[in-house]
Amino acid sequence: QKEVEQNSGPLSVPEGAIASLNCTYSDRGSQSFFWYRQYSGKSPELIMSIYSNGDKEDGRFTAQLNKASQYVSLLIRDSQPSDSATYLCAVNTRLLNAGNNRKLIWGLGTSLAVNP
- Which residues are at the interface with another protein (CB under 8 A)? 31-32, 34, 42-46, 49, 51, 88, 92, 97-99, 101-104, 106-109
Q: Of 67 and 102, which has the nearer Cβ to another protein?
A: 102
Residue in 89, 88, 61, 63 with CA at minimum distance from that of residue 77: 61
Q: Of 17 and 113, which has the nearer Cβ to another protein?
A: 113
Q: Is the dihedral of CA 110, 101, 30, 35 positive or negative?
A: negative
Length of the chain: 116
State the minimum distance, in angstroms, from the CB of residue 108 to another protein. Answer: 5
Q: Of 10 and 14, which has the nearer Cβ to another protein?
A: 10
State the minimum distance, in angstroms, from the CB of residue 16 to another protein. Answer: 28
State the minimum distance, in angstroms, from the CB of residue 114 to another protein. Answer: 20
State the minimum distance, in angstroms, from the CB of residue 92 to another protein. Answer: 5
Return d(Cα 78, Cα 82) in angstroms, integer: 11
Q: Of 37 and 83, which has the nearer Cβ to another protein?
A: 37
Burial of residue 113 (CB within 10 Å: 0-12, 13-18, 19+) is: middle
Name the pairing type of β-strands 32-38 and 85-96.
antiparallel
